[in-house]
Amino acid sequence: MKRIIVAGGGAAGFMSAFHAKRPDTEVTVLEAQEKPGKKLLATGSGKCNLTYASREPVLSYRGTGQDFTEAALQTFDQERTVQFFEELGMLMHEKNGGVYPYTDQAQTVQTLFLDVLRERGVKIKTRERIIDILPQKKGGFFVKTEGWQYEADVVILACGSKAAQTLGGCEDGYHLAEKLGHPVTEIVPALVPLKTKEAAFHALAGLRSPAKVTLFLDGKKAAESEGELQWTSYGISGIVVFQVSRFAALGLLEKKNVQISLNLLPQVNRQHLLAIYQKQTNKKAEHLLSGIFPQKLAALLLKQTGYKAGEILQEESFLEILSLVSDLRLTVTGTRSFEYAQVCAGGIDTAFVNAKTMESKKVPGLYFAGEILDVDGACGGYNLQWAWSSGYLAGYYAANDQKGQVEQNA
């Protein structure tokens, strides 16, 4: 009987354990928290965006190895993900470019996983924090927790990242991997709000604006996204900001000048606005802008451009304000902490991991899955899809000695 230890009871750990359990394997999940799957419950704002509806997934993953995700995503793609959850008995639906449980409750996913893992005979042990993994000369491992020692033939590290620590995020997996000779790249918050220097705009806290966000590092365009921006008391937030935040965090780490350009009228034609201006009989500054922007934002824009309420805006002045809102510059001074990040950029260097099997190239019998690796995806189900895809490969190959083609229906 092959003994397999899965370190971490999250999305990647669940998927690994499911596919590692066979009649000839004994699978035990060791979870440091009181309850497994705690972070899973918070994904997709508690609705659990299982995967994406896009057809170009590789473009939405980042990390040191640009092609590392390709094999896993092709082997266990979004269609297989949907098929897998249907076979667990889950009804799903598509919305906003993602695939969700029909219940729109992440607890549905957690409950189904826990039920099916127990039915398959997987042991799940909570409050078992792993403090060391010791490879044995004749093969296999001793896995030490704070209260016990387990023997294993194979270990799958699926401990997650240090993002969202109140939900179980930690650095344990990184430390365990480093002890086993695996380099860990620089780790920064990703999918996280950004702090900005311009205090005047902090007064807009609570306001939402459609925006195109373009990130510049030392004056060079690094990333862009379009969607709804949320103004905060410290800077800016919202999915549109999350999509560029990992590049901002790495830029700050490298001591670069990090700037955000906001176009607050991304879908509006300037000539159309000019035509509206020309039709107005009341060309007072506050009247013109309050028909385009929320009052609080309109007042701040006037102040930023030096115009006063009651002042008549000539066409040239109106165009000046439009120029400002199409390239409103903010200086990024930092990100919010890891606690506020959905995932991390950085992790175990994928150069030392077999992309086709998720097995370590340094320690035979050691596998990796999920956020612990230097792979981070965009918002929209990409990070959960990586958990499913990498977890599938890790679990499948942990249970099977052969290193050939994966069985498509395994």
In the predicted model, is pLDDT for residue 351 greater than 80? yes
In the predicted model, is pLDDT for residue 4 greater than 60? yes
Topology of the domain comprising 2-187+347-399: FAD/NAD(P)-binding domain (3.50.50)
Q: Each residue of 166-203: pLDDT tens digit?
A: 777 889 999 999 999 999 999 999 999 999 999 999 99
Helix (H, G, I), strand (E, B) or coil at 308: coil
- What per-residue string of b and e applies to 118-153 under the rule 16 or more CB within 10 Å gives b? eeeebebeeebbbeebebeeeebbebebeeeebebb
- Alpha helices of 121-195 — where are they, by DSSP H? 172-179
Across the range 20-33, mean pLDDT stands at 96
C-beta contacts of 180-183 below 8 A and 24+ residues apart:
180/133, 180/135, 180/360, 180/362, 180/363, 180/366, 181/352, 181/362, 181/363, 182/348, 182/349, 182/352, 182/360, 182/362, 182/363, 183/348, 183/349, 183/352
Q: What is the pLDDT of residue 56?
A: 61
Per-residue confidence band for 306, with pLDDT thresholds at 50, 70 and 90:
confident
Greatest Cα pair distance in the chain: 88
Across the range 276-296, mean pLDDT stands at 86
Q: What is the pLDDT of residue 408?
A: 41
Per-residue confidence band for 55, with pLDDT thresholds at 50, 70 and 90:
low
Q: What is the pLDDT of residue 394?
A: 98
In the predicted model, is pLDDT for residue 349 greater than 50? yes
Per-residue confidence band for 402, with pLDDT thresholds at 50, 70 and 90:
low
Going from N- to C-terminal start, the domains of the chain cover 2-187+347-399, 194-335
Q: What is the pLDDT of residue 404?
A: 42
User: In percent, how much of the chain has pLDDT > 90?
Assistant: 73
User: For the whole model, what pTM was predicted?
Assistant: 0.91
What is the C-alpha separation between 103 and 84, in angstroms, rounded?
Answer: 17
Q: Each residue of 27-38: pLDDT tens digit?
A: 999 999 998 988
In the predicted model, is pLDDT for residue 406 greater than 60? no
What rounded mean pLDDT belongs to the chain? 92
